[in-house]
Structure 1
Amino acid sequence: MKRVVALAMLAAVLLPARAGAQEICPDRSGYAPAREIVADLGRIVAPEGVQEEYAVEIGGIRQWVSVRGQDRDNPMVLFVHGGPASPVIPTLWQFQRPLEEYFTVVNYDQRGAGKTLVLNPQEAVADTLHVQRYVDDAIALAEHLRSRYHKRKLVLMAHSWGTVVAMHAALQRPDLFHAYVGIGQVINVRTNEQVSFDYGLRTARAKGNAEAIREMESIAPYPGDTPITRERIIIARKWPQFYGGLTAYRADSKYFYQGPRLSPDYDDAARCAINAGSVFSLGRLLDEFLQVDFTGVERFPIPVVMFMGRHDYTTPSEPTAAWLARVQAPYKQGVWFEHSAHMMPWEEPGKTLVSLLEHVRPRAIDDAPAK
């Protein structure tokens, strides 16, 4: 039980695992009537629209895909979720519907996550959990979507851990994408760790929180020259997020953690697979994740837009802003979300939509159907 709780907290390195990971998957069948209402509200009824969910073989396993939009001719967005193993599909009902009027939005459960975890034997997936394999999956899925939906290119959008995957995909296959949108972008993991820790300790001292000070000083200097272990990360990330570094002005994010209970796309078995996926994936990916560093990328091959939360201390925005200021790209734009931390689409959904319409859709609207 302690190991499950610790790994759930460790997920806060990128995007926290759903709260209640220590629960043994309680029955939530009482939420069924509410799920039906959410499903009806979100149903795509426009004749030219698309609403599909299906499994497709990508990278040797079956991966779960959701495609939603009011008009098939709109630009298509491929969204790469955070985590790892924190799928967006069970909470997309909270923010995505307005986006679907202007984009066809594709979400998928990555290997080791959500419904994809359920679809495949874990022993067939465990040894494949490497960053480059996730990148290859995103590229293969983009090619599949281009063919299936007759798109020349896609918009690539990612959140948190997903930005590691998507940045690599954009750099390796820029021909597939109109533009890249990073939300809570990871640039350099060690820098992020230090900025986040410093914020948490500074705030704890200002507020006289003896418990937080004691815990954080026990691992200082952080990260320092000492190896970044699970135990150190758990302490380092606990207090910055308590002080609004995950969701601005909030000590917790129950709206997100408990959102899957009302998801019309996830039954209880799939919902319970979210926490199982975190436990399954985190330890296998941690060493590679800690080596992530995009600071040496001086040229970006496609238009790049960064959504940066002013209060984000999960993947702090300062390194992203600094990288964006010096990178060369066909088009670049940073958008500050003044009332957000890490969860920008959930915290400021209106600004998310407006920013996509202003900076991204014009770069994809000329898309012609693939021949």
Structure 2
Amino acid sequence: MILAILALFILALSLLLILISPGKLATLKNKNGEIIQTAICEKVMLPINDTHLGCFIQSENTNNPVLLFLHGGPGSPELPLLDIKDPDKRLEQIFTVCYLDQRGAGMSFNRSIPPESMTMEQLVADNWAVTNYLQQRFQKERIYILGHSWGSALGLKTIEKYPECYHACIGTGQVTQQLPSEKLAYDYMFHHATEIGDKRALRALKKYDSNSADFPSLGYITSIRLSLMNKYGIGLEHKKHTMYSQTMRILFFKGYTLKEKGNYLRGSLFSLQCLFPDLLLDNMPTTFKIPVYIIHGEHDYQVSYVLSKRFFETMEAPAKDFFTFEDSAHSPFIEEPERFIQIIRKLL
């Protein structure tokens, strides 16, 4: 009897997962719940360089400027996390947005991707190829680029090499010097855990030495680091202290098939293994030929707010600005979407 009930439960769960994983997004709607007739909502696989890259292209009107959205991670596509129901708070009202699943991530993951092709240089080349596709398809001489976290580093590298393709670059959770950032975060978590008497966190942190040559190790990154940052409100979101909501958003995201949801996890681990060393290199450019804008949460330790502000002060660009979000940590576009969109509108 127990085995029969268990089998029925597994069957029901499997059917539910299939039902919530159609691999297709719903068409954009206005505030009244009506389908926007001029909108597009597409899932596209592009033959780029030596692989195929998946992306979602969404817009209320394709006459809008075009924006290439570069996710963080490495290896963590973010459209599934953007649970923004108010049309006035979404990027698609302003732009035709291309949410690219980068090489090795999400629906762009496949087991045949050579690990040696997973470099920042290669991903920059991929960005340029996707940009060319967007320029030709939507008849735009230049587009905008917006990068979050790891994607913000990719954004700066991309506009440094191909400035003629872009109007401006916007970075949020802007990566600058990630190795010092990781050490600042470790010190903060250690001192905070000491202050509040979080003995479990202290035991976990003491397993790692922030002054060792291999810090931060992949084991540290995938275990205690992210969970503790979220617990203390200095990680993905300042006011949500667990990964539960992010995990559920990915699980219930309709744009992915069940297989692609599995590849989301596989791609995240694969990308971290291959690309995190690139993220730790202190080689961010500081001089740019197009405007650069940075939006950063004041409580962010996943990527240091202090180091980002310091980087901005030394940065040279035709136009630049830095926006502090006092109620955000690492994801201002999720935590304070209304103000985020207001700023983006002013920058156009």
Structure 2 length-normalised TM? 0.86
SS of structure 2 residue aligned to 1:248: coil
Q: Tell me if structure 1 keeps the 8 A contact 2:72–2:151.
A: yes
Deviation at 1:151, TM superposition (A): 0.6
Instruction: Give the equivalent residue in structure 2 for 1:338.
Output: 326
Candidates 14, 29, 46, aligned match of 2:16? 29
Distance 2:70 2:279 in 1: 16
Structure 2: how far apart are the matches of 1:35 and 1:208?
46
Cα gap change, 1:28 to 1:261, in 2 (>3 Å): farther
> Within 2, Cα distance between the matches of 1:257 and 1:271?
11
1:107 is matched with which residue: 80, 99, 103?
A: 99
Residue number among 330, 340, 348 corresponding to 1:352 in the alignment:
340
- 1:325 aligns with one of 313, 317, 321: 313
**Contact 1:68 1:105 (C-alpha < 8 Å) held by counterparts:** yes
Establish whether residue 39 from structure 1 lines up as the match of residue 31 from structure 2: no
Tell me if the contact between 1:62 and 1:116 (Cα under 8 Å) persists in the aligned partners: yes
2:180 maps to 191
Residue type of the partner of 1:27? S
Give the 3 Å change call, closer, same or farther, for CA 253–348 of structure 1 in structure 2: farther
CA positional deviation for 1:28 = 6.4
Secondary structure at the residue paired with 1:244?
coil
2:190 to 183, 198, 201: 201
Taking the aligned partners of 1:74 and 1:308, their CA distance within structure 2 comes to 25
Q: CA shift at 1:142, angstroms?
A: 0.6
Contact 1:78 1:142 in 2 (8 A): yes
Aligned to 2:214: 227
1:209, distance to aligned residue in structure 2 (A): 1.0
Alpha-carbon distance in structure 2 between the residues aligned to 1:151 and 1:251: 41
Describe the SS at the equivalent of 1:279: helix
The amino acid across from 2:125 in the alignment is D
How many residue pairs get matched?
328
Shift in Å, 1:313: 1.2
| 1:245 and 1:342 in contact (8 A); partners too | yes
* AA matched with 2:44: Y
**Which AA in structure 2 matches 1:158?**
G
2:274 is matched with which residue: 263, 277, 284?
Answer: 284
How far is the alpha carbon of 1:95 from its aligned partner? 6.4
Scaled by the length of structure 1, the TM-score of the pair is 0.81
- % identical equivalent positions: 25
RMSD value over aligned CA atoms? 2.5
Partner of 1:22: none
1:1-371 matches, within 5 Å, as 27=14, 29=16, 32=19, 39=26, 42=29, 45-94=35-84, 97=87, 98-117=90-109, 120=110, 122-220=111-209, 222=210, 224-228=211-215, 229-233=217-221, 234-246=223-235, 247-294=237-284, 297-359=285-347, 361=348
Give the CA deviation at 1:355. 1.1
Query: Does the 8 Å CA contact 2:21/2:255 hold for their aligned counterparts?
Result: no
Change (3 A) 1:150 1:40: closer
2:6 alignment counterpart: none
Q: Structure 1's 61 and 95: CA in aligned 2 closer, same or farther, altered over 3 A?
A: farther
93-102 or 29-38, larger mean C-alpha shift: 29-38
Amino acid at match of 2:133: H
Q: Which amino acid aligns with 2:120?
A: V
C-alpha distance in 2, partners of 1:147/1:210? 57
Q: Hey, what does 2:4 align to over in structure 1?
A: none
Equivalent residue, structure 2, for 1:17? none
Letter in 1 for 2:19: A
Q: Which runs of 5+ in 2 are unaligned?
A: 1-12
User: Residue deviations 1:137-177, cap 9 Å, x none?
Assistant: 00111111101110111110011111221111011111111
Does structure 2 conserve the Cα–Cα contact (< 8 Å) formed by 1:31 and 1:262? no
Q: Residues 293 and 201 (structure 1 numbering): CA distance in 2 closer, same or farther, change over 3 Å?
A: farther
Say if 1:38 and 1:262, in contact at 8 Å, map to a contact too: no
